[in-house]
A and B are shown apart, each in its own frame.
Chain A
Amino acid sequence: MFERLLFEAPDFFTYYNVIFLLEAAARTLGMTLIGCTVGFIAGLLIAVLRQSVNPWTLPLRVIAIAYVETFRRIPFLVIIFIVLYAIQPLMENASLLTIATIAICLVSTAFLSEIVRAGLESVPKQQIEGARTLNFGAARTLWYVVLPQAWRVILPPAIAFAVMFIKDTSLASHIGVVELTFSGKMFVNRGFSPLLGFGAVLVLYFLLSYPLSRLGTYLEKRLDPSRRS
């Protein structure tokens, strides 16, 4: 097995193949970045909405809860299938990458909204009452008081989620998005040994994921709210 690997290596690590792999890695990273950014913004909106006590927002809150609970309880693979077949009739020219990215955003919104919500709830009630008695409205309380205190609770699990998500995007290979996992399959189909093709892909995933997970562990220790600065 390993002799074959050494034998094939010179043919495998050609300029074009390496560029191809790096482009695939960039697509994996891009999907993760877009997913986490969109998911964070939408998740923040949902989390803030769920904190509201205004009776007018009740229907929206029910929808938000249903959305979050649904999308956290369906396998990502199943969501990709549903989005694939639901989007194609709506947007005929949607690329597979677009479809996978939409599926990613739907899922990341659900998970990140829960992470943000936990962060918002970690801010003591007294801080919010203090703001209210100073005549802060809801938006100002959120902006000046809650978010500056919540981000240290939000950031570590949000990064841990991003680490999970880099790996989850590998499922997009199944519908034909040319990301890292798909590039591995292509090399194997072209006759390279599976250990070499998938091994190279594993190494690249590791290089994307490990620095981020180290950052997450570091921030978790650094930002622990029980011992500040």
Chain B
Amino acid sequence: MNYTFQFGEVMAELPYLLGGALVTLQIVFFTFFLGAVLGLMGALGKVYGPTPLRKAISAYVIFITNTPALVQIFVLYYALPDAGILLSSMAAVLIGLTLNSTAYLTEIIRAGVVSVRQAEMDAAIGLNMTRLQILRYVMLPHIAKTIFAPLSNFFIWLMLGSSIAALFGVEELTGRAINVSSVNLRTIETFSVVAVIYIGLTLIASMSLALLGRVAFRVKARVF
């Protein structure tokens, strides 16, 4: 075997690939923030809600976190049309990933909520703080500190996991890599370049998150 690497044709497609990275970022930000809002509601519901709601949320989290996102999206994309709901591939992927981020973020945020110590809550009540003040000054700083690291890890996980969108024809970074390599037939080169772009994206994300954590929450996060 005498394989010669040729990156020329791949590099010509770099702007197209970077455009795909932008689509990846859009998917990640959309599903992360929507998942965070729903996850916060889920976490509060799971800690403070009535028993049936708590059980329903638990069941949802357990089901989603114990089955592959890929197969969940298969169901959304291929089975829902039977019920008269036709989703575009992008919509199916966004819904599927949001279902997942909601489940994982519910668990992460819940762990943060229960980490607030009763002693601190008692002290706050003793100081005659209002419920809003307690949330703002006692609970939130504590929760932020506890969940920051798992939240950052999940963000990176989502960035990598969003590549499954390619399997539904969404033209994000991996999807565009498949397109490029099926034309230039330089699969290894194309995917190596894409791998480097992913490494760059996740490194930037890790460093920004570490910086954010240090400035906003005084969390000492490490990138490596």
Interface residues of A (CB under 8 A from B): 1, 4, 65, 69-70, 73-79, 81-82, 84-86, 89-90, 163, 166-168, 170-171, 173-174, 180-181, 184-185, 188, 193-195, 198-199, 201-202, 205-206, 209-210, 213
- Knowing A194-B79, A198-B75, the reply to whether A210 touches B174 (Cβ < 8 A) is no
Sample of 19 further A-B pairs with CB below 8 A, known A78-B195, A181-B68: A70-B195, A73-B202, A73-B203, A77-B166, A77-B174, A78-B163, A82-B191, A84-B187, A167-B66, A167-B68, A170-B70, A185-B74, A194-B75, A194-B78, A198-B74, A198-B79, A202-B67, A205-B66, A205-B68
B69 on the A face (CB < 8 A) = yes
Contact (Cβ within 8 A) B199 A188: no
For B62, list chain A residues within 8 Å (CB).
210
28 A-B residue pairs with Cβ-Cβ distance under 8 Å, sorted by A, are: A1-B79, A73-B203, A74-B160, A74-B195, A75-B161, A75-B198, A76-B160, A76-B163, A77-B163, A78-B163, A78-B191, A81-B177, A81-B181, A81-B191, A82-B191, A85-B188, A86-B188, A90-B1, A167-B67, A170-B68, A171-B164, A193-B82, A195-B82, A205-B68, A205-B71, A206-B67, A210-B62, A213-B66
Taking Cβ atoms with an 8 Å cutoff, the residues of B that contact A are 1, 3, 62-63, 65-72, 74-75, 78-79, 82-83, 156, 160-164, 166-167, 174, 177-178, 181, 187-188, 191-192, 194-195, 198-199, 202-203, 224
Contact A209 B67 (CB under 8 A): yes
